[in-house]
Amino acid sequence: MSTSVELTRFRVLPEKTDAMLAARPAMLDDFRSDRAGFLAARLVRLPNDEWLDIVEWRSSEDFAASRVKGANLPGIKAFFATIDSLVSSEEGTLADAG
pTM over cut 0.85: yes
Structure-derived torsion over alpha carbons of residues 16, 19, 21, 24, reported in degrees to the nearest 10: -120
In this prediction, residues 24-35 reach a mean pLDDT of 98
Exposure class string for 39-67: b at 16+ Cβ within 10 A, else e: bebeeeeeeeebbebebbbeebebbeebe
Tell me the pLDDT of the chain averaged across its residues. 96
Q: How confident is the model at residue 2 (pLDDT cuts 50, 70, 90)?
A: confident
- Domains located in the chain, CATH noted: 4-87 (3.30.70.100)
In this predicted structure, the answer to whether residue 1 has a pLDDT above a threshold of 80 is no
